[in-house]
Amino acid sequence: MVITVRCNLQHWSVLDPQAPDAARYARGADAFDAAAALALEHHRRTGQPSRVRVEALGNAVDALIVE
C-alpha cells in the first residue's frame, strides 16, 4: 500500500487509498507523522509492505518503506 503525503499550495494532505477523503495538515511534519503511523499500522495488521511517498514541487520520493 502506498500512502501519499502531498503539498498543495500552502497545506499538506495525506492520501490513504483506504480512506474516502484526504486528511489535511498545516505542517508537512505532522502530515508525514500521520502517514507513517498509517503505514506502520497497515503493515502490523496485514503483514504486507507499505510505504509513504512524499510529493512536493513536482517531485516525489518514497520516504518510508515498511517491509
Q: How many C-beta atoms lie closer than 10 Å to residue 8's C-beta?
A: 11
Residue-level pLDDT at 5: 98
Beta strands in the chain (DSSP E): 2-8, 11-15, 23-25, 50-56, 59-66
Find, among 52, 64, 41, the residue nearest to 12 by Cα: 52
Q: Mean pLDDT over all residues of the chain?
A: 96
Question: Along the 67 residues of the chain, how does pLDDT read in single tens digits?
Answer: 999 999 988 899 999 999 999 999 999 999 999 999 999 999 999 999 999 999 999 999 999 999 9
- H helix runs in 1-67, sequence order: 28-46
Q: List pLDDT tens digits, range 27-44.
A: 999 999 999 999 999 999
